[in-house]
């Protein structure tokens, strides 16, 4: 398996858990945060030691080929405004959820700010607990994702394979639901998770499994 250079923007529960899993599977991870001196960043630095770097967003982006957006959904626009040129041309995974109405994802905004980026929607439809422990009652959970899959374009094909590798490295089974036009379907899975896990009180370790013949 080739080492992937990943910038994880955000060091909260989602970003910290994903980044830690990727470090454990041999990838080169740089966390980009607004305040590298914050208690959250310091705690993550103490946990990972020399296995990952935690610093400014610009530095993390400069060293990456893949970017995982793991910030609150409301913070994405400011990131795009500040770092659009560094994001352009990279493979970007939108794991941020915009709450409170309107589209839950930022795929259109990312594509507008960084038109040469390959943008995927993934890691937004489960709780961080499923990333930390992707097995529920002995069954490996699935992660639904969407994004480009142009067979005639080797780069895009490589990007989808990279996303699937990163999903597997977290311990989940990747389930591709289609191209960018299916991003809202991935968000619908996230809405279902919120309704069951939180709204119905079934617990944050709730996950999904697609049964296929």
pTM of this structure: 0.94
Summarised one tens digit per residue, pLDDT across range 29-67 is: 999 999 888 888 888 888 888 888 999 999 999 989 999
Residue 211 in domain: no
192-157-26 Cα angle (round to 5): 80
The total number of structural domains that make up the chain: 1
pLDDT band at 1 (very low <50, low <70, confident <90, very high): low
**In angstroms, rounded to a whole number, what is the distance separating the alpha carbons of residues 213 and 31?**
40
Residue 130 in domain: yes
Residue 12 in domain: yes
**In angstroms, rounded to a whole number, what is the distance separating the alpha carbons of residues 120 and 110?**
10
* 108, two tokens: 């259109």
Residue 208 in domain: no
Report the pLDDT value the prediction gives residue 43, as an integer from 0 to 100: 86
Summarised one tens digit per residue, pLDDT across range 66-113 is: 999 999 999 999 999 999 999 999 999 999 999 988 899 999 999 999
Residue 136 in domain: yes
Statement: residue 157 has pLDDT above 80: no
Residue 207 in domain: no
CATH number where 65 lies: 3.40.50.720
Residue 213 in domain: no
Range of the domain at 182: 5-199
């Amino acid at each position: 398996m080739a080492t992937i250079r990943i910038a994880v923007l955000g060091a909260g529960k989602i970003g910290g858990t994903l980044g830690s899993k990727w470090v454990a599977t041999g990838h080169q991870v740089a966390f980009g945060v607004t305040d590298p001196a914050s208690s959250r960043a310091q705690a993550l630095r103490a946990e990972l030691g020399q296995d990952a770097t935690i610093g400014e967003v610009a530095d993390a982006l400069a060293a990456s080929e893949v970017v995982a957006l793991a910030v609150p959904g409301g913070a994405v626009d400011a990131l795009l405004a500040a770092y659009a040129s560094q994001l352009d041309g990279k493979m970007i995974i939108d794991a941020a959820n915009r709450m409170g109405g309107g589209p839950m994802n930022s795929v259109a905004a990312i594509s507008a700010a960084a038109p040469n980026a390959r943008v995927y929607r993934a890691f937004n439809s489960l709780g961080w607990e499923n990333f930390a422990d992707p097995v529920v009652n002995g069954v490996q959970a699935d992660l639904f994702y969407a994004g480009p899959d142009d067979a005639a374009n080797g780069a895009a094909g490589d990007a989808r394979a990279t996303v699937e590798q990163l999903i597997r490295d977290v311990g989940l089974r990747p389930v591709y639901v289609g191209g960018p036009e299916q991003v809202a379907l991935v968000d619908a899975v996230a809405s279902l998770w919120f309704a069951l896990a939180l709204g119905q009180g079934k617990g944050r370790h709730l996950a999904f499994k697609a049964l296929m013949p």
